[in-house]
Structure 1
């Protein structure tokens, strides 16, 4: 009889009954807390939230099951095995998400992506899931039963309730029209400028092409490919925007499941619960999870890549888990370019250092990791190399070529993504690190410090050593190669969460719980007022009610082309892209002494058009970005461009 069977046989019927009653009470408490949170945050719009969650949530669940089915098929064919059902499920979902991203990319580049193709992807995943995931569950049914009982009778069961208020807030926030939350960072501008806008343009074009007016279309879009999929599934950009937000929330939720699974494999279920709750309690997870960003992909793929690396380090048969870890690292790079430095380049040194007693074996493992990572990242590198000659454009333009950029645009991009002048010294960078990360409320104040203490308590353990190396590498990358925004250090959350799970003493678990309580209390205090202020914008079908007054019905519904000057939030405008023109600040190519409006309109503008000028953005761009001509206007205005006039009003 196996270990799981002996444990289950030893449980008396009364113990099982008590565990089941405890689970029922837990479920009721969780539902009541979630319902109270939704009603409190959504106010009179709570019914809209519930309706949206039922409809769009069903689509999101179908998408997630399809991804898990595809991933389960790949896992079975690859011989991937692990004891933790949660880790296996998260891995299958992540593999499926990565594969779907590449499928959508290839189909989109060929012009074959549409509603039928999107539906076919989902159906294929369901079929694969029925054939492979079901077989896996059946063959591991005793393990799954043990997993369920451990959750029900473990000491940490009630700790899961700390996640319920943040989950409720995330769901309500995901029902708010995209681009409104959360203020300065993460800013909704990026959502409306490219995270949703670029997939919207590809949806309307019927194929994936370079957008010369939006440089962000050259980014790798492993997460945004799912937003494009959502638009095809739901029949339009605005019909699919809430599904897109729920998809990103699912990325974050699956990353938390992955943290639980990794720590459960390395330590105990109780430690795994504490680590997962600590990560989920960080306000960053709520803020990012509820908007259509791409950090969810970095968190999910990055967490699993590092987690499988840790499992490979302690295994005698490490080729398959190391190859899997590398493939997931490549998917992380396809979600966010910073993962190339923070995951793909950081993990191999960690492998070598953690296995310093067996250097040749460590080098072979690192080589397998790198090779598999480059393979899964390569579709985006190949696409950009064909489009621009630079596989990572718009980055590394000084080394690999500036592509369609002019010299002015190249410098504008480099300066915008570098620290400010007052932050370039080492003391200033370290101060920014403390302010943006260690002492920032979005990291829950206690999340990062408790992880650093955990690393100091078990420094000689190979897993701790590997995690510490990756964390230090991430710190160096953040300090030296980013523009010092806290969001770019987000991968530290799963890293420190796993570190806290590797410390064995029972007293330490209470320290982790205390840190989770601090973080869980910080989030609602800071974020609830913002959600309440946005509750009137829950479930909007499009942006007409909140557009500038000058963008009236005759502008949106007429036949005349519309040109946005200074405003790149084109996703707000329900105008077909055949009539709508805009450009991002990085795509502006202003000539010497050229009138500012003419520079934004461009020479390729139609002879007649409606021009909507955003003076606040124009003034901000002139202050913030290099090579932007000044603008003196003060009010949002609209005017008609005709063949006889090409200058500012």
Structure 2
């Protein structure tokens, strides 16, 4: 495979990095710019090690499927990421990441590194300097810069609409942290989400395993997830160019517009910059469409890779089985060359799919007795849950809305999301879809009116409709779950723009598509500013938390608490966090947390007992007991109890709170037990033993 010039590739990376540094300086001054460089060096190496290995594996796979061609580096990257995620599932489930003091976690990269090095050396020898510009993607720079900055901010600060990454701190990062302590990927009794397929989280575990403390890998995990989104965007851009070439329209404009539409949509930057799993879905979906647009040389290998991609798609988020897989099947039926539709290809795909999903199903079956736990508990069994817990989970992850209400939800959550008054107070409401839904639907309509693109429009329309139908009837109608829809809509925009603005590209443009600074490119660049604007306005001070893991662990407050300045000591004590108390102030205390389920920044060995909203909490054993009996029972195993009253009230309003957790009982308990501290966020810390006191530490 002949890649782009490596000098050009390095230049592109430098340009993207410089753009992020410039934007960081604009948001928070020079200190933020230097902090970015520091984070990329100290945390980026873990992400880079993973990605370099994945790229080598992908080069091998790409050559098996399509041979050595002049393009396809992004596709090779995507293939490799999928393969690496599946490998991580097997190694993590078998508990091998911790083997030989982490040597296995590092050693598994070596084959991929060797293949990457072989590829680079071969390319360096064979490829002459290409005079073509490789900066054809420059209109997307503002969005890429925003993505890199947001991914470099320590988890728990940025994006208020995501409650500052609450899901990441409770699940996507916390689960790998717990697995690292447990020694393997497995379902955990106190974290229901650990029973999910967790393909992306398996990659996070691999990255975390390169450090002695899982918390040190948090930013590296975010950078890995952001990198997946970038690869997905370029893979989709290549797919748009391939389809455009086949349709006889301008492939350069199709590539550029599809790329910018993907990265300029704020929802993708928001989800991509956090340690979520959406980038795995977007990557696999875009990669499948790219494969469908090509002619392979080995349909057995092609089928195997497609099966692996479907496994990653489902493994990134199980709801993709309903949201995205039907859309892929529709595209396969309407658009794929008949040569792909042979029994050998399909059999190889099924085999790869089985290989990919076996670790998830096997470990769930072994630990819980049901392979799909905590999903479809009404059909496959509830595992270690009670029937009430399974029912509560199912009700919370579905909707009982009428057909009219579902249609209205689609309108609000997609087309006018963030515009006007929020119809669901307390839920996210920002213009995170931007103009993409309107432009995408208009593009599909335009393509359907052109004779040469009518069949593509049918495939795009059907795949989009199936995603929407799945969202309306199989989810709880949240806007973020529509993110896979960005793939067909961005692809439609790229093809429609190529059909309309085909003459806008200079005849002197390069073979890789480097349009001059024409109005279309400037408009795309203006669109790509939208995510940067959202980053600057949503959480304006977030840039000051680039790489500030120590602050979120309570390190700075602990220093203030021990300093000679009385005002600093008083401020630190007044605004104390749970992390300060548990990590530094009283690390020996055995603390029971009720309602607070985001303990990612707590030391891995801290004696903290907690649970997600869906799982059994130790406080439930006190249901029906008096205040005195409750205190006596809890004091047998705990020194203090941490109660997050605002979160418990939110869970109760949502119908998620266990009926065995009585808020009135907890309020009565708080009146009878000594108050040790009022913690930040409305949490209270109560003592369960008479000798438990929270005195100020000595001055140092």
1:255-284 per-residue CA deviation (whole Å, 9 max, x = no partner) reads 112112222222213321221111111111
Cα displacement (A) at 1:403: 1.2
> Could you tell me whether the CA contact under 8 Å between 2:96 and 2:105 is conserved in 1?
no
In structure 2, distance between residues paired with 1:35 and 1:254: 21
Which stretch has the larger CA shift, 517-526 or 38-47? 517-526
Match of 2:268 in 1: 285
Alignment of 1:238-637 (within 5 A): 238-267=215-244, 268-311=251-294, 318-354=299-335, 361=341, 369-370=349-350, 372-419=352-399, 424-440=401-417, 442-459=431-448, 461-503=454-496, 504-507=498-501, 516=524, 519-542=527-550, 543=552, 544=554, 545=556, 549=576, 551=578, 555-557=582-584, 558-574=587-603, 576-577=605-606, 579-588=607-616, 590=620, 593-594=623-624, 607-626=637-656, 627-628=658-659, 629-632=661-664, 633=667, 635-637=682-684
Match of 2:679 in 1: none
- Structure 2 SS opposite 1:559: coil
Which of 39, 58, 68 is residue 55 of structure 2 equivalent to? 68
The TM-score with structure 1 as length reference comes to 0.83
1:383-436 per-residue CA deviation (whole Å, 9 max, x = no partner) reads 2222223322211111111111211111110111122x5xx0112111111211
In structure 1, distance between residues paired with 2:216 and 2:406: 43
In structure 2, distance between residues paired with 1:280 and 1:597: 54
- Structure 1 SS opposite 2:549: coil
> Could you tell me whether the CA contact under 8 Å between 2:186 and 2:364 is conserved in 1?
no
- Indicate yes or no: 2:175 matched with 1:175: no
Q: Could you say if the C-alpha distance between residues 275 and 512 of structure 1 is closer, same or farther in structure 2, counting changes exceeding 3 Å?
A: farther
Match of 1:41 in 2: 27
- Structure 2 SS opposite 1:311: coil
Which stretch has the larger CA shift, 536-545 or 331-340? 536-545
Which stretch has the larger CA shift, 374-383 or 502-511? 502-511
> Could you tell me whether the CA contact under 8 Å between 1:380 and 1:391 is conserved in 2?
yes
Which stretch has the larger CA shift, 34-43 or 372-381? 372-381
Q: Could you say if the C-alpha distance between residues 284 and 595 of structure 1 is closer, same or farther in structure 2, counting changes exceeding 3 Å?
A: farther
Count the aligned residue pairs. 610
Question: Which blocks of at least 5 consecutive residues in structure 2 are unaligned?
Answer: 245-250, 419-430, 505-518, 558-571, 671-681, 693-700
Alignment of 1:196-215 (within 5 A): 196-215=173-192
Cα displacement (A) at 1:218: 0.4
Q: Alignment RMSD, CA only? A: 3.8
> Could you tell me whether the CA contact under 8 Å between 1:174 and 1:291 is conserved in 2?
yes
> Could you tell me whether the CA contact under 8 Å between 1:438 and 1:448 is conserved in 2?
yes
In structure 2, distance between residues paired with 1:610 and 1:75: 56
Cα displacement (A) at 1:79: 5.8
Cα displacement (A) at 1:290: 1.7
Cα displacement (A) at 1:130: 2.2
Cα displacement (A) at 1:178: 0.4
In structure 2, distance between residues paired with 1:509 and 1:201: 56
Alignment of 1:88-127 (within 5 A): 88-108=75-95, 112=99, 114-127=101-114
Q: Could you say if the C-alpha distance between residues 103 and 132 of structure 1 is closer, same or farther in structure 2, counting changes exceeding 3 Å?
A: farther
Which of 191, 200, 206 is residue 223 of structure 1 equivalent to? 200
In structure 2, distance between residues paired with 1:381 and 1:251: 25
In structure 1, distance between residues paired with 2:576 and 2:199: 36
1:42-96 per-residue CA deviation (whole Å, 9 max, x = no partner) reads 3343322221123322332232111111222344455656552334433343244
- Structure 2 SS opposite 1:502: helix
Match of 2:127 in 1: 141
Q: Could you say if the C-alpha distance between residues 28 and 117 of structure 1 is closer, same or farther in structure 2, counting changes exceeding 3 Å?
A: closer
In structure 1, distance between residues paired with 2:533 and 2:616: 40
In structure 1, distance between residues paired with 2:597 and 2:480: 22
Q: Could you say if the C-alpha distance between residues 457 and 512 of structure 1 is closer, same or farther in structure 2, counting changes exceeding 3 Å?
A: farther
Match of 1:16 in 2: none
1:317-339 per-residue CA deviation (whole Å, 9 max, x = no partner) reads 75543442232111111111122
Cα displacement (A) at 1:513: 5.7
> Could you tell me whether the CA contact under 8 Å between 1:550 and 1:638 is conserved in 2?
no
Match of 2:687 in 1: 640
1:440-460 per-residue CA deviation (whole Å, 9 max, x = no partner) reads 255443212222222223346
In structure 2, distance between residues paired with 1:203 and 1:601: 33
- Indicate yes or no: 2:81 matched with 1:58: no
1:200-226 per-residue CA deviation (whole Å, 9 max, x = no partner) reads 112123233321011111011111112
Which stretch has the larger CA shift, 107-116 or 474-483? 107-116
Cα displacement (A) at 1:247: 0.9
> Could you tell me whether the CA contact under 8 Å between 1:278 and 1:513 is conserved in 2?
no
> Could you tell me whether the CA contact under 8 Å between 2:36 and 2:546 is conserved in 1?
yes
> Could you tell me whether the CA contact under 8 Å between 2:398 and 2:475 is conserved in 1?
yes
In structure 2, distance between residues paired with 1:253 and 1:472: 25
1:493-514 per-residue CA deviation (whole Å, 9 max, x = no partner) reads 1222222233442427979768
1:513-544 per-residue CA deviation (whole Å, 9 max, x = no partner) reads 68745642432333212343223333223321
Question: Which blocks of at least 5 consecutive residues in structure 1 are unaligned?
Answer: 5-19
Cα displacement (A) at 1:550: 6.2
Which stretch has the larger CA shift, 399-408 or 112-121? 112-121
